[in-house]
Amino acid sequence: MEITERDLREEVRAWVTQNWDPALSLRQWRERLLESGWAVPSWPVRWYGKGLPAWTDAVVHDEIARCHAVSGVPTGLAGPTILEQGPDLVRERFLRPMITGEETWCQLFSEPSAGSDVAGLTTTAVLDGDEWVINGQKVWNTSAHHADMAMLLARTDWDAPKHKGITYFVLPMKQPGVEARPLAQMNHHNSFNEVFMTDARVPKDWVVGEVGQGWTAALATLAHERKFAALNRRSDLEGVEPGLALDEARAEADEIARVYSWYPQRAGRVDLVIEHAKSAGVAGDPLIRQEIAQLMIMYRASQATAERARQARQSGRPPGAEGSIGKLASSNIARQASKVHSMIAGTYGMLAGDDPDCPLDGLLAEITLSVPAQSIAGGTDEIQHNILGERILGLPREPDPTRGQPYRDVRNA
């Protein structure tokens, strides 16, 4: 029989009442969550879950928080990828310390000349006895400066076609052969790095999926790219009972906030638009009202699409076009929100910093400079258009004269 939301919440509440102790360390608390299956309820029982349907994750997360306990576990993108792709040796080695937060992760996919076309990567892995030796450069790697492990794509077979010769590795970041150099962004944040690998080492078996099948595993990661919500934010911790677990969860959330604090601005801060118009005394301006109305139409329509996708997932239907539509909508909404904020602020919109005349206490400058990232991260607008055209509308595939050729010949041509 399928579990109802009410029964689920009751079961979680009873368990948290018996097991939550604010004096535990964050790791001890997460170990209890993990042993009970409530850390990742939709994962299989063998891999620390309860084998429940996907919708239960959010409900359980919410109910734990309502019980004034620390809720989120940092499974990120690597967790679901390793869970899906295996093999067991990799699941056994990495899932547990990921869930307890002992090992943090970053993604090493993009390269200076392989972003949208990530399958065109040239970082190379060569097997040397019991280890792979890695050489190459990655870029735009969020959190690479403090991560313990990386999801790494590297080429292991130059004689295979572009998508076939790639392997997906787990790279230990803290070793002499790996150097992460932070990149300064125009919005004054430093979320990204460029990562240089010079004879870096990976144990022979630390391969996600199979050698040469890295593209399949990479697609699994990209499909999860939008589910980053499992991490705790400071606001998620507001009601948590004080104690060691809360202190450590706050420290973890602060570290995350240092990297991601500009992400709400990158989405355009739709939530601030109406108040901004009112406080600037322009809420009655007909042109500004029209633009705000347009923004709200786009925003609500996108929420409806997201809800449709959520319900489809809940009822077990395969994902359709909603992912790409939602990604495109988020770019359009961010741009429209940034435009409206700038119209409201007028020439003051050009001010940045601590000046008292800065609109939204300086936040507008951050919105203006962060919004372009919305249409790049996780696949650009043009790439989403291509995906929708080819996979949903059935238009002809983008021509690729090199298809099927050994990648060595393509690069040397």
What does the binding site for ligand FAD look like in residue numbers (CB under 6 A)? 107-110, 115-116, 140-142, 373, 376-377, 379-380, 382-383, 386, 398
The enclosing H or E element of 167 equals strand 166-172
Nearer to ligand FAD, 156 or 374 (CB): 374
In whole angstroms, what separates CA 223 from the centre of its chain?
10
Structure tokens at 279: 């406080």
Q: How far apart are the first and last CA of the chain?
A: 60
Nearer to ligand FAD, 246 or 373 (CB): 373
How near is the Cβ of 140 to ligand FAD at its closest, in Å? 3
Nearer to ligand FAD, 71 or 265 (CB): 265
How near is the Cβ of 67 to ligand FAD at its closest, in Å? 33
Residue bearing tokens 């690597």:
78
* Closest residue by Cα to residue 36 from 73, 80, 86: 73
In whole angstroms, what separates CA 212 from the centre of its chain?
25
Quote the CA–CA distance of 179 and 201 in Å, as a whole number. 13
Quote the CA–CA distance of 396 and 165 in Å, as a whole number. 25
How near is the Cβ of 380 to ligand FAD at its closest, in Å? 3
Nearer to ligand FAD, 205 or 382 (CB): 382
How near is the Cβ of 386 to ligand FAD at its closest, in Å? 5
Interacting residues of 168 by C-beta distance below 8 A, sequence separation 6+: 81, 85, 151, 152, 153, 207, 208, 209, 213, 214, 217, 218
Residue bearing tokens 């991601």:
260
The enclosing H or E element of 196 equals strand 193-203
- Report how far apart, in Å, the C-alpha atoms of 352 and of each of 153, 261, 357 are: 39, 17, 9
- Report how far apart, in Å, the C-alpha atoms of 46 and of each of 11, 29, 66, 89, 110 are: 20, 20, 27, 13, 33
User: Would you please indicate which residues are annotated as catalytic (active-site) residues?
Assistant: 225
Residue with the shortest CB distance to ligand FAD: 115
77 near 17, Cβ under 8 Å? no
Nearer to ligand FAD, 244 or 383 (CB): 383
3-state helix, strand, coil in the chain (%, to 5): 50, 15, 35
How near is the Cβ of 365 to ligand FAD at its closest, in Å? 18
Nearer to ligand FAD, 42 or 380 (CB): 380
Going along 256-296, which residue ranges are E strands?
none
